Chains A and B, each alone.
Chain A
Amino acid sequence: MEEIASGIWQALKLIGSLDPEVRRIALFSLQVSGLALLLAAGVAIPYGIWLAFSRFPGRRVLIGLTYSGMAFPTVVVGLIVFLLLSQQGPFGILGWLFTPWAIIVAQFIIAFPVIASLTMSAILAINPGMRLQLRSLGATRTQATLALLGEARVSMVIALAAAFGRVVTEVGAVIIVGGNIAGNTRVLTTAIVLETRKGEFAAAIALGLILLLISFTINIIATRLQGRALAR
């Protein structure tokens, strides 16, 4: 207990003094996960929308696969990305292994099914009568689709928040494909692993507090939005 208390005290001092290394790592984490999220959202949201609106044979299978993607162990994602990006692998030529791009690729893969599934289920959760209601008020097909997406927008923001929380706190995949290189691929989670391994618990706690702050903020936003969405 004493150790945790003094650790937290030292951690607060580290944060309070705006230790440049701690700040850099925190900012870098946000940047990498943010970029991964944006890229994933750019593909996963249209995919989720398409899956929700389209009708074709095999759609149910695809939906099932997308949902189960959320349960895919992140460390296995890390292993697969490692093997793909390795010099021995098919994408070794890119030279992305042990660079921020490798982390972005891994986080992209982790975020994709979360965003796609939640987007899809948000749209499917809208009352099926809503499209008729919109058409009846004089909406064209496109206008009705846009309005339906508008109805699902809160859930989509929640999907983004959930995916961001998942990737920014992910450690297994990031350490495998990024290598936890100082000043290059070290993010909050891998830095915590390193500091713990070194027995530098104060530094680990400082980084942990920042990570908590980030994921709490994201969660609070998501909960607030969800509160509104459910209050309907």
Chain B
Amino acid sequence: MKAFGKNVGFGWRVLLTLVALPAILLPATACFQGAERSLVLTTTTSTYDSGLLDHIIPPFEEEHNAHVRVISVGTGQALAIAARGDADVVLVHAPSLELQFVEDGNGVRRTYVMYNDFVVLGPSDDPAQASGLSNGAEAFRRIAESGAKFASRGDESGTHVKEKEMWSEAGVESVESQDWYLSLGQGMGGTLTTANELGAYTLTDRGTFLARKELNLVIVAEGDERLFNPYHVIMVNPDKYIQVQSELAGVFIRFLISPDTQQRIADFRRDEFGLSLFNPVHLEETP
């Protein structure tokens, strides 16, 4: 190389600095060494993207010298990853899928942590005339009748599962084949952005909606008990997957329902919105 060094020297140097040097330093950096113990938590986008987990997990990590590695995906994918033994614990919101997960022997110690509720959003001019309803199924029926656009997560997430339940409550069939029905295959955030741009109706959990102040969408229906949205934590079955950190996962589950954590859940962004995004279920006083 020496004989030919002259006219590529510059490129080599820049490339070396940009690529090789940091790469060589990589194994020395923290993320490769990690804490003593780590826990893989798969969860839904609503708990993570809203910032809730970043708010409640640090005390756990400090106290137990453990690192919680959060993978935020749809509930369907969160459970699927866990069912392959690639996670230790899941925090999701789709009761029917959760029960199936436990029944299949994939999870144990399913524990109720908190709830919030789903709301039906729509454009402010409300072409389906669904606003002000407290009957969620009626709102879905009117949307279907009016043929106004509806944006669906379409990703087997907890929200998507709930949405399918609501269509069937409303007696609307084969909704996927309607041309006003948009199955996006995106997370909650992406779905809200898309619905907002298209002036479409959509279903979302209240927490994610409140955290998105820039949206033009408004709540058209809320308060139906069928729109209730409970979150459960489930440990991946250590009898099925020996590598599951069952002890630490157990500690984590107890941590989530401990009074301190429950209070932190209740307090999370409450000052900002005037109400809790997530309501804990193991506190005596209700916010």
| CB neighbours of A179 from chain B (8 A) | 40, 69, 71
Contact of A181 with B69 in the complex, beta carbons under 8 Å: yes
Contact of B18 with A180 in the complex, beta carbons under 8 Å: no
Shortest distance between the CB of B130 and any CB in chain A (Å) = 24
Contact of B11 with A87 in the complex, beta carbons under 8 Å: no
Contact of B69 with A184 in the complex, beta carbons under 8 Å: yes
| CB neighbours of A35 from chain B (8 A) | 23-24, 26
Partner of A164, one of B19, B45, B84: B19
| CB neighbours of B69 from chain A (8 A) | 98, 179, 181, 184-185
In the complex, A75 has a CB within 8 A of chain B: no
Which residues of chain A from 91 to 111 have a CB within 8 Å of any chain B CB?
92, 95, 97-98, 100
Contact of A199 with B189 in the complex, beta carbons under 8 Å: yes
Which residues of chain A from 4 to 60 have a CB within 8 Å of any chain B CB?
27-28, 30-35, 37-38
In the complex, A196 has a CB within 8 A of chain B: yes
Which residues of chain B from 177 to 228 have a CB within 8 Å of any chain A CB?
186-190, 192-193, 211-212, 214
Contact of B15 with A38 in the complex, beta carbons under 8 Å: no
In the complex, A182 has a CB within 8 A of chain B: yes
In the complex, B126 has a CB within 8 A of chain A: no
Partner of B190, one of A27, A184, A196, A221: A196
Which residues of chain A from 201 to 232 have a CB within 8 Å of any chain B CB?
214, 217-218, 221, 224-225, 228
Return the CB mask of B226-246 against A: 1 if under 8 Å, else 0: 000000000000000101000
Contact of B29 with A31 in the complex, beta carbons under 8 Å: yes
Partner of B189, one of A30, A92, A196, A214: A196
| CB neighbours of A64 from chain B (8 A) | none
| CB neighbours of B3 from chain A (8 A) | 150
| CB neighbours of B241 from chain A (8 A) | 87
A interface residue numbers (CB < 8 A to B):
27-28, 30-35, 37-38, 86-88, 92, 95, 97-98, 100, 150, 153-154, 157, 160-161, 164, 179-185, 194, 196-199, 214, 217-218, 221, 224-225, 228
Told that A38-B24, A153-B4 touch, could you supply 5 new A-B pairs with CB distance under 8 A?
A: A37-B19, A87-B86, A88-B85, A196-B190, A218-B18
